[in-house]
Structure 1
Amino acid sequence: MTAEITPQQLIVWRILQRAQVQITRSLEVALVSEHDLAPAAYDVLCQLAESPGRRLRMNDLADRVLLSRSGLTRLIDRLQRDGLVEREACPSDARGLYAVLTEAGEARLSEATPTYLRAVHGRFLGLLDDQELRQCAAMLAKLFPPASD
């Protein structure tokens, strides 16, 4: 069965795609040029910083970021080479590994966060008034209900 999509629905879908690409590009330009940090790396560092003990099992981290497991492994390799994360064995699972945020990773994240927030505000949040933000939040929550951790 083929879903029927109205012209208006297709317009909305295309606007959503363009917005995501343009916002991501702005983030990438700002983070890479000012901090040598790709948005995916920033996301990984944030996830680790917000986790107990600044660590997550690699499988859990992969579920939280928008990367494949192999893409996350390659990114963690680069972040480890840069001294921003470490890998630690999981005591309860010989095959499991933790990604752990280092002091250097925390410092890079702290330096990059104002740049990240400026870019998000400039390309998205700052363009909407309070009512539009509430409407946007309600629509996105309907599409993507918050995960229950």
Structure 2
Amino acid sequence: SPCAIKSVVPPDDKHWNDLALEFFYTKNIPPHDRIVMLRGSVIDYMYGGGISPAVLLVMDRLQMDLYTAIKQGQDWLSRLQVAIDVVEGLRYLHGQGLVHRDVKLKNVLLDRDNRGKITDLGFCKPEAMMSGSIVGTPIHMAPE
């Protein structure tokens, strides 16, 4: 099936760590229909003429993100189905002992059937390690 390549140039150690966690969690949980599958990764040391290495994440290719779909006029019934899909994906992650911590429109991708899949597990953390830390995209964060 078609693949997409996410190219990221981590500017510092924290971002390298986030990418490593995204790869680790996405590769080490069993596949699920509501989670974007990561197929592999490569570090490109020659990216940008060798100035900064890039990480290339190879994953399932999907149609678009939820933000774009809504901007293009996605109907309410489709939005409801995607909301259910996201809940199923989050329930699955929680069942694996993980908390996503950055659910937002850009981190929900749609397949050809307009079904939602959660992506970007870089902020994921095991529930057992949760503390009072605040991470994520502020405008999309829950008030608690």
Whether TM exceeds 0.5 here: the answer is: no
Relative to total residues, which structure has the larger helix share, 1 or 2? 1
- Point out which structure has higher relative CO (alpha carbons under 8 A, 6+ apart): 2
The structure number with the bigger radius of gyration is: 1
Q: What TM-score comes out, normalization by structure 1 length?
A: 0.33
Relative to total residues, which structure has the larger strand share, 1 or 2? 2
